Structure 1
């Protein structure tokens, strides 16, 4: 059974609801409320990015369902490593991947627990880039190399000049970053410890 604090983090208005399977997972692992709030904020941004990509760059082939699930679970390993909710660390990545697999999540969805921080590794697809980007820009952090990888994919998919794809993405990310204070306040309003 989910704590009242976790339930609030999962249900408060203002952000898109997480996929039902993710809610069940977060309840099962007794996720800290702050983790649930973080996942909702990143999921919301990832869905916004994917909607934009689908409208402007449909040939890019983003899988909206995979991106939404990946964003909603990318840090689930922090339920096992709660110290990484308020401090640095990467143990949650392997732990999250294993946790998702142990709950029957397919590898193609569980992979985001690894790839959200390894966006420059070989074999990374557009879905991985979108989850990584959402995990940065939700708090107005801009990562030039990550953004350039996405720009390159968008330019190839659309046939437009890279500078055009850059300007379009930069404008979109600027709008998203402009809402960072609201998302940060939402996350901070939820306790780190499960109560």
Structure 2
């Protein structure tokens, strides 16, 4: 089996949800590195769990769950053209990813996540962008207090709970999600950076 196809659609340990078909097809069409496919699958899985929890815990919060899931599944797609950023720092993949998605016919409202996942502190950020950014951090157990505070503020505004109560609920959920980071990192790192 092709390593990319295995990374995005094969059995995974720990179990990880499959990417949305449109995202998986894009990765195959673009010849994405297998490690990128595994990374996107892990982040998508965390986004799926996080958005499911939010929908139950904060039903007054309006957000486009399918957009968040597509964004999580494609946020780093620009690393197809900047593969050095798979194993090192860099942000050139962000605008490159947005361009790739737009060229592939993806709607701008969905292509934006490739560019916005690294700029979550922008004044124009929407709730969906925050959720993709949180998933992109928590999948590897990285916690970013300023990012999480922005999400807490959005939740407080719609639910009427005290900020401390929202903080405790979100903190508990993110701790649970972060607990699976070692397995997700091992899954990702089991695939090569280069395309073979």
Q: Return the TM-score normalized by structure 1.
A: 0.97
- Is 1:137–1:173's contact at 8 Å kept on the other side of the alignment? yes
Q: What residue number does 1:96 align with?
A: 97
SS at match of 2:40: helix
Structure 2: tracts of 5 or more residues without a match: none
Question: In angstroms, what is the RMSD of aligned CA positions?
Answer: 0.8
Alpha-carbon displacement from aligned partner over 1:87-120 (angstroms, at most 9, x marks no partner): 0011100100000000000000000011100000
Q: Look up the match of 1:24.
A: 25
Q: Which residue of 1 aligns with 2:6?
A: 8
Report the 3-state secondary structure (helix = DSSP H, G, I; strand = E; otherwise coil) of the residue aligned with 2:60. Answer: helix
Task: Show structure 1 runs of 4+ deviating over 6 A.
Answer: none
Worse-superposed segment, 79-88 or 6-15: 6-15
Kindly indicate whether the alpha-carbon contact (under 8 Å) linking 1:34 and 1:187 is maintained by their aligned counterparts in 2.
yes
Between the two proteins, the alignment pairs up a number of residues equal to: 193
For 1:35, the equivalent position in structure 2 comes to 36
Alignment partner, residue 194 of structure 2: 193
Q: What SS class does the counterpart of residue 160 from structure 1 fall into?
A: coil
Instruction: Determine if contact 1:10/1:36 at 8 Å carries over to the other structure.
Output: yes
CA distance in 1, matches of 2:86, 2:17: 21
Native 8 Å contact 1:46 1:67 kept in 2: yes
Tell me the alpha carbon deviations over residues 3-51 of structure 1, each in whole angstroms, 9 at most, x when there is no partner.
7111110112211110111111001110000000000000000011100
